[in-house]
Amino acid sequence: MSPASQVPTTDAAPVQFLTPSGELVRSAENEEYFPYLDSLGEAEYTRFYRDMLTTRTIDITGTNLQRQGQLGLWPPSHGQEGGQVGSAHAAKAQDHVFPSYREHAVGLIRGVDPLGYMALFRGITHSGWDPNDPKNGNFRLYTLVIGSQALHATGYAMGQQFDGAVGTGNPDADEATIVYFGDGASSQGDVSEAFVFAASYQTPQVFFMQNNQYAISVPVSRQSRTPLYRRGIGFGIPSVQIDGNDVLAGFAVTAKHLDDARAGNGPSLIESLTYRIGAHTTSDDPTKYRMNEEVESWIARDPITRLEAFLRSQGIGDAFFEDLKVEMDDFSSDLRRRTLELQPPSANDMFDYVYSEPHAVLEEQARWHANYEASFSDATTDGSHA
Ligand SMILES: Cc1ncc(C[n+]2csc(CCOP(=O)(O)OP(=O)(O)O)c2C)c(N)n1
């Protein structure tokens, strides 16, 4: 028997509540998630729609600004809004969120001003937002070192457990952690190590893997011989696959597993099957490694158009969508204006974050540097100095 033929080949269908044409379906296998689905009504549906559209607007604005030389880089989340918006709404205020670098929807929903993304990718700040500021909803910093945030999250979740913030039975106090990472990251040692510790310590944690089918140019088929969610099962972590372009599945499944985590039932892994419609970043040309037909087939499963179809079937009319278009235009202009107004930091700021306490040698260097910079202020127009 060849090794490949020993691998089980049957997998449950990914959890889906909203079909690509926007029809609500309930299959008996997904019954455990029904209460979470049933907790949603028109207010939540329209909120999800608005958040997905806002995220796409941020993406378009960021991409345009990069193309005009105003940002150094932009990593688009176009196509991945369903899983992101659904899962972000499943997290409670007291939960902690560890992103990768394209979770623009998640940060938005946690309270981050998207201007922070622009500042970060304009290269004028190391972070873009303060994760300790309560208004940013415990949304940690973007992490470009692939997979390392899984370790940060697992360590944090171990701390939540040691602090007794799990399984007390108080739904407003019990905490969980959710960490976002990609299919490529799941091939990294850091993620495997995070799985080991999460399983051993039964951390209050959801691993939210966005399988957008590519790690830059490397397709999932090259990275793994089994569906990626099975990687979690090997570590003893309950794992489930969802239709990541279905915002309702994203919400219901994440809400259930975060509830389990807060209740002290340990970690779980959600593989959110989706597709990166745009480039990996604005430095990438995806036409070099994938076919247009493939992209088109995923555009037909777009998370926003399917929710629009569902909303229309629920009686939401043109006015709602027309008003949102105007709102998004204003939002984009405002974000663009504020980005262009961002000022570069003072070069002397670099001395502020070296040590936690003041340091005499560094203070001397900072004084010298400030004087040096000031010496240019009386430069004449021909470049010489007075
Ligand atoms: C430790 C490390 N190795 C390599 C890279 C270069 N790199 C940047 S993005 C990326 C692919 C990540 O793919 P995936 O985890 O699927 O996330 P996606 O970008 O598709 O959201 C790689 C290899 C990196 N940033 N960090």
Q: Which atom of ligand 1 is nearest to the CA of 181?
A: 15
Predicted local distance difference test score (pLDDT) of residue 385: 45
Q: What is the pLDDT of residues 125-171, one digit of tens each?
A: 988 999 999 999 999 999 999 999 999 999 999 999 999 999 999 98
CA of 73 to the centre of ligand 1 (A): 15
Does any domain span residue 11? Answer: no
For residues 324 and 374, state if they share a domain. Answer: no
For ligand 1, atom 21, the nearest C-alpha belongs to 182
Query: Average of pLDDT values for 280-303?
Result: 97
Predicted local distance difference test score (pLDDT) of residue 378: 66
DSSP string, 185-199: GGGSHHHHHHHHHHH
Establish whether residue 213 lines the binding site of ligand 1, counting it when its CB lies within 6 angstroms of any ligand atom.
Answer: no
C-alpha–C-alpha distance, residues 194 and 177, integer Å? 13
| Nearest residue to 168 (alpha-carbon basis) of 204, 138, 218 | 204
Q: What is the pLDDT of residues 31-55, one digit of tens each?
A: 999 999 999 999 999 999 999 999 9
pLDDT at residue 383 is higher than 50: no
Whether 95 and 179 have beta carbons less than 8 Å apart is answered as no
Does any domain span residue 371? Answer: yes
Predicted local distance difference test score (pLDDT) of residue 381: 47
Whether 45 and 85 have beta carbons less than 8 Å apart is answered as no
Q: What pTM, to 2 d.p., does this model score?
A: 0.94
Does any domain span residue 320? Answer: yes
Query: Average of pLDDT values for 331-360?
Result: 93
Q: Which atom of ligand 1 is nearest to the CA of 80?
A: 21
CA of 185 to the centre of ligand 1 (A): 6
For residues 84 and 171, state if they share a domain. Answer: yes
Predicted local distance difference test score (pLDDT) of residue 379: 55
For residues 201 and 84, state if they share a domain. Answer: yes
Does any domain span residue 84? Answer: yes
For residues 203 and 335, state if they share a domain. Answer: yes
* Beta pairing partners, 301: none
Predicted local distance difference test score (pLDDT) of residue 31: 97
Decide which of 3 and 355 is more confident.
355
For residues 372 and 295, state if they share a domain. Answer: no
Count up the domains in the chain and report the number: 2
For residues 189 and 88, state if they share a domain. Answer: yes
Establish whether residue 102 lines the binding site of ligand 1, counting it when its CB lies within 6 angstroms of any ligand atom.
Answer: yes
CA of 74 to the centre of ligand 1 (A): 14
pLDDT at residue 76 is higher than 50: yes
What's the CATH code of the domain at 62? 3.40.50.970
Q: What is the pLDDT of residues 323-341, one digit of tens each?
A: 999 999 999 999 999 999 9
DSSP string, 277-318: -S-SSTT--GGGTS-HHHHHHHHTT-HHHHHHHHHHHTT--H
Q: What percent of the chain has pLDDT over 70?
A: 95
For residues 159 and 267, state if they share a domain. Answer: yes
Establish whether residue 271 lines the binding site of ligand 1, counting it when its CB lies within 6 angstroms of any ligand atom.
Answer: no
10 Å CB burial of residue 156 (0-12, 13-18, 19+) is buried
For residues 356 and 334, state if they share a domain. Answer: no
Tokens of 29: 């296998």
Does any domain span residue 261? Answer: yes
Predicted local distance difference test score (pLDDT) of residue 4: 53
Does any domain span residue 37? Answer: yes
Terminal C-alpha separation, the chain: 84
For residues 293 and 367, state if they share a domain. Answer: no
Q: Which helix (H) or strand (E) holds 155?
A: helix 148-162
Whether 149 and 100 have beta carbons less than 8 Å apart is answered as yes
C-alpha–C-alpha distance, residues 293 and 144, integer Å? 30
**In the chain, beta strands by DSSP E:** 96-98, 177-182, 205-211, 214-215, 218-219, 239-243, 268-273
Q: Which residues form the domain of 143?
A: 31-341
Query: Average of pLDDT values for 205-227?
Result: 96
For residues 331 and 364, state if they share a domain. Answer: no
For residues 333 and 279, state if they share a domain. Answer: yes
| Nearest residue to 188 (alpha-carbon basis) of 217, 158, 215 | 215
Does any domain span residue 23? Answer: no
Does any domain span residue 21? Answer: no
For residues 307 and 358, state if they share a domain. Answer: no
Tokens of 124: 């004028």
Q: Which atom of ligand 1 is nearest to the CA of 187?
A: 15
